[in-house]
Structure 1
Amino acid sequence: MKKIISNLLLIVFLLSFNFAYSWGTTGHRVIAEIAQNHLSGKAKRHLKKIIGQEKLAYWANWPDFIKADTTGVWKQSEQWHYINSEPKTNIQTFTESINSQQAPNIYTQIKIFSAQIKDKNTSLKDKEIALRFLIHLMGDAAQPLHVGRAEDLGGNKIKLKFFGENTNLHSLWDTKLVDFQKYSYKEFAGVLDVKSKKEVKQIQYGTLEDWLYDSQKQANSIYSNSVADASYSYDYNYKFESLLERQLLYGGLRLAKILNEIL
C-alpha cells in the first residue's frame, strides 16, 4: 500500500513539474546558448565579473528550479514568467494594455532586472540574481503562450493529446515539441544559429514591447490552429516546427541584444 501511495505521489509531482515549467530545460538552454554566441567582447568581460567562467546556459533554468523552494522566499516570482493580454490589433493598443497592468509580470520584471544589472550601484550578488532571471524571462518572452490569454491560463486549460499522451497546449509548447526534435541544447542551438549578420540585426530590431507583441501574434496563430481535445502527432509538429525554431532563435538573439546593451 505504501508503495502504491509513493508511486501516486511521484506521478502527481511529475505532472505538476511539467505543468509549471517553461520551454523545458532544453529550450531555455538553446536560447541561452544562442545568446552566448552573440555577446560582444565588452559584455563577456562584464559577465565574467558577475558569473565568472559560467555560461548563460548554466543559469537558464534556475528561475524554474526555485519553484520547488519550500521557504516561500521566491513565491512572488511565479507570476513573473508571463503576461496575459487579450488579442490586440496593433502594437499601440498592446503596449497600452501591458502598461496598464499593475501586478508584476514578465514585462515589468525584464525591465527591472535589466536596470539592476546596468546600475553601477547594484552589488555583484544582486546583479547575479537579476541576470539569472533575465536570461530565463527573455526565454519565456519568446514562448508565445507566455503572452497568452487569462481565461485559459496561457493554454494550460486547453487539454489535448500528443502522440497519445494527455497534455495541454501550454505544456506542448513548453516541452513536448522541443523534446520531440531530439536535439541536445547545443545541437539545437547549432542548427538554428546560422543567420547572416544582416539577418541577425533584423531579428534584434525593436523594443521589448515589439517582441512581446510579436509573441502574442504567434500565440494567436497557435490558438487558431490548435483544437481542444484533439489528438495530435506528426501533423502538429509538421505545422509548427518552423515557428518553434523561429521562437527559440529569436529568443536567443534578442537576449544577446539586451545583454550587449546593458553590460
Structure 2
Amino acid sequence: MKKSIAAFFLSTVIIFQSFGWGQNGHRVVGQIAAWHLSKKAKRNIAAVLENESIPMVANWMDQIRSDRAYDYAYSWHFLTVHKGKGYEPHLQDERGDAYQTLLRLIEELKNKPLSFKKKQENLKMLIHIVGDLHQPLHVGTGEDMGGNKVDVYYFNQKTNLHTVWDTKMIERQHLSYTELAKHLNNRASKDKIKKLQAAPIESWLEEAVSLRKYVYDLPENKKLSYEYDYKCFPIIENQLLAGGIRLAGILNDIYG
C-alpha cells in the first residue's frame, strides 16, 4: 500500500513538472495569436470557445492532467528528436506525440464533422500544443525527460532545467502575460509574420533542436543566474513570439 501511494505521488510530480511553458508562457502565446486573427476567425473561434479568450484556454490541456479520463493525452505535449535527425515515428510514445497530434487536430478541425464538445476540446489542445512545440525542451533528446532529470540551481534555488525554461525565467521578469505579450508583439513586423507563418511545422522541430545547445550550455556547478538569463531569455522571447504568430496563422487558416 505504501509503495503504491509513493508511486502515485512520484508520477504526479513527474507529470506536473513536464508542462511546456508555464501558465504565463502559454497565455503569452495565446494573446499574441489573438491579436493577429482575422475578423472572421475571431468570430468563429469565439463561438467555439463560448467567448472564453484564447489566452485563458491556453492552459486547459495542462489542467486536465488531473482528470484520469484524459490520461490518453499525456504524451501529446512532447516528442523526441535526436540531433541531426528529423521526425522519427519509432522514437515516440505509442499513445501519440505533440507533432503528429497537432497535424491530426488541424486536419480534424478543417475537414471532419465533429461534435461541439470535440471541436472545442480539439481547439483548446491545438492552442496548447503549438505553444509546447516552441519550448525547446518539449522537443527532447529522449534521455532526460526534457530536462526534468537535470538538477540545477537557479539563483540559488534547487530546481530542474525544464522548470527553469518553462516557468522560472519568465516569472523572473515580473510581468503579467499581457505586458510580456505586448512587449514581444512590438517586434511582429509584416515581414517577420510572413516568414514565421511560412515555415512548415516540421521546421519548428529543427529550430527546437538547434536551440538545445544553448539550453544545455550549463556551468559545471549547475548554478544558473544572470549570465544564463542574459544568454537564454532572448531565446524564450523569440520562441513565445514565434509560437503566437504561427498559432494565429493556423487559426486563420482553419477559421478565417
Q: Same fold by TM (over 0.5)?
A: yes
Q: Distance in 2 between matches of 1:158 and 1:115?
A: 36
Kept in 2, the 8 Å contact 1:142–1:251? The answer is yes
Q: Residue 85 of structure 1: which of 81, 85, 88 is its match?
A: 81
| Aligned partner of 1:214 among 207, 216, 228 | 207
Residue-by-residue CA offset, 1:7-48 (whole Å, 9 max, x unaligned): xxxx98996675132211100000000000011122112212
5+ long unaligned stretches in structure 1: 1-10
Q: 1:76 aligns with which of 65, 68, 72?
A: 72
Query: Which residue does the alignment assign to 2:154?
Result: 162
1:250 aligns with 2:242: yes
Q: Assess if the C-alpha contact under 8 Å between 2:81 and 2:141 holds in 1.
A: yes
Percent identity for Structure 1 against Structure 2: 37
Alignment match of 1:108 (pick from 96, 100, 109): 100
Match of 1:53 in 2: 51
Compute the displacement of 1:239 (Å): 1.2
Which residue is equivalent to 2:19? 21
* Greater shift in the superposed pair: 117-126 or 160-169: 117-126
Per the alignment, residue 145 of structure 1 pairs with 137
Query: How far off is 1:98 after superposition?
Result: 4.7
Aligned residues: 245
CA contact (8 A) 1:106 1:137 kept: yes
User: Which residue number corresponds to residue 3 of structure 2?
Assistant: none
d(CA) in 1 for partners of 2:201, 2:126? 12
Q: Report Cα offsets for 1:179-206 as digits up to 9, x if no partner.
A: 1111100000000001211121112221
Structure 2: 5+ residue runs without aligned partners? 1-8
TM-score by length of 2: 0.89
Which digits, 9 at most, give the CA deviation of each residue in 1:94-122, with x for residues without a partner? 14x25874730001110111112112511
For residues 254 and 243 of structure 2, the distance between their equivalents in structure 1, rounded to whole angstroms, comes to: 17
2:194 is equivalent to residue 201 of structure 1: yes
Residue range with higher mean Cα deviation, 240-249 or 203-212: 203-212
**Letter matched to residue 245 of structure 1:** E
**Structure 1's 13 and 177: CA in aligned 2 closer, same or farther, altered over 3 A?**
farther
Q: Distance in 1 between matches of 2:110 and 2:235?
A: 32
Residue number among 17, 38, 41 corresponding to 1:43 in the alignment: 41
Q: CA deviation at 1:232?
A: 1.2
Match of 1:119 in 2: 111
Is 229-238 or 245-254 further displaced after alignment?
229-238
* Amino acid in structure 2 at the alignment position of 1:111: L
The correspondence for 2:224, drawn from 216, 227, 232, is: 232
Distance change >3 Å, CA 102–CA 13, structure 1 → 2: closer
> What is the CA deviation profile of residues 39-60 of structure 1, one whole-angstrom value per residue up to 9, with x for unaligned ones?
1122112212211322101110
Return structure 1 stretches of 4+ with deviation > 4 angstroms: 11-18, 98-102
- The residue type paired with residue 197 of structure 2 is Q
Q: Name the CA distance, whole Å, in 1 between partners of 2:11 and 2:167.
A: 16
TM-score (norm 1): 0.87
Deviations 1:46-75 (CA, angstroms, capped at 9, x unpaired)? 212211322101110011111112xx2111
Q: 1:120 to 1:45 in 2, by over 3 A?
A: farther
* In structure 2, distance between residues paired with 1:82 and 1:133: 13
Q: Is the 8 A contact 1:204 1:254 kept in 2?
A: yes
Q: How far apart, in 1, do the equivalents of 2:99 and 2:42 lie?
A: 25
Distance 1:143 1:168, change over 3 A: same
Aligned CA distance change for structure 1 residues 120 and 152 (closer, same or farther; 3 Å): closer
